[in-house]
Amino acid sequence: MTETFLGYFNNCFAGDAPLNALQMLQILDMLTPSQERKLETMEAFLSAKQISLMTFNDYISTTITNWLNEETVSIPRR
């Protein structure tokens, strides 16, 4: 049995290292109650962010599909 466990989480791109560290502690069944609350908060935020992104992507997809299905397409000029 190992007494010490070290992990490194790269925080580049999306800045998910704190979330990933808490998820690893959860997998290892080592989360404190405070860490568990923080993980729930972070996951709820991420979930809301994904829903918002999906809604935006649906809007763009629908707009492009409608635009492509029009018989005559006019492109606005600046």
Q: Give the pLDDT confidence score for residue 76 in this predicted structure.
A: 62
d(CA 12, CA 4): 25
Across the chain, which distance is largest between two alpha carbons, in Å? Answer: 70
Burial class (CB in 10 A: 0-12, 13-18, 19+), 38: middle
Q: How confident is the model over 53-74, as pLDDT tens digits?
A: 667 777 777 777 777 776 555 5
Q: What percent of the chain has pLDDT over 90?
A: 24
Q: Give the pLDDT confidence score for residue 32 in this predicted structure.
A: 96
User: Do residues 45 and 58 touch, judged by C-beta distance below 8 A?
Assistant: no
Instruction: Output the CA torsion sign for 9, 17, 53, 34.
Output: positive
What are the extents of the domains in the chain? 17-68
Q: How confident is the model over 6-44, as pLDDT tens digits?
A: 888 888 777 888 988 999 999 989 999 999 999 999 988
| Neighbouring C-beta atoms of residue 60, cutoff 10 Å | 10
